């Protein structure tokens, strides 16, 4: 099976909660940046990988420009842009809600928002338990 033929694991396969208790939420700033990038680049997708829960940044690509692998997990979407995380990163996010935000700063080299002077960031939001604590 070629990597382009692999289907990422759905979030419910890894314990994600679909529907109104979605794992991924986005701020107004993030949604505004997504809309601006969609107007310029068309359909988008996000991917976030890393083993350190507190320091990795999501990358934004034109839909299909980042090769997904079988172990990637679909966390949710932001205004139609799917947001995938590596299986290892999902381990950090599994018991938390994840907030996508946009702030001034330097984005990843290949991330579409880089020329804007903004970058996407993720933050862990507490739910009913303290399982979302991240060492930092």
pLDDT in tens, 87-120: 888 877 777 888 999 999 999 889 999 999 999 9
Q: How far apart are CA 134 and CA 93, in angstroms?
A: 10
Considering the entire predicted model, what is its pTM?
0.77
Contact 36, 79 (CB under 8 A): no
pLDDT-flagged residues of the chain (< 70): 1-21, 51-55, 126-136
Residue labelled with tokens 């070629």: 2
Please answer whether residues 44 and 38 qualify as being in contact, where contact means their C-beta atoms are separated by less than 8 angstroms.
Answer: yes
Domains of the chain (ranges plus CATH)?
18-122 (2.60.300)
* Predicted local distance difference test score (pLDDT) of residue 3: 41
For residue 9, the 8-state DSSP code is B
């Amino acid at each position: 099976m070629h990597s382009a033929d692999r289907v990422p694991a759905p979030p419910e396969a890894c314990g994600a909660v679909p529907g109104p208790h979605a794992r991924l939420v986005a701020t107004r700033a993030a949604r505004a940046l997504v809309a601006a990038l969609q107007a310029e680049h068309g359909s988008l997708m996000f991917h976030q990988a890393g083993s350190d829960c507190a320091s990795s940044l999501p990358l934004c690509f034109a839909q299909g420009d980042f090769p997904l692998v079988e172990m990637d997990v679909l966390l949710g979407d932001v205004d139609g842009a799917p947001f995938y995380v590596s299986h290892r990163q999902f381990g950090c996010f599994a018991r938390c809600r994840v907030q996508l935000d946009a702030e001034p700063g330097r984005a990843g080299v290949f991330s579409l928002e880089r020329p804007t002077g903004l970058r996407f960031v993720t933050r862990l939001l507490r739910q009913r338990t303290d399982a979302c604590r991240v060492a930092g």
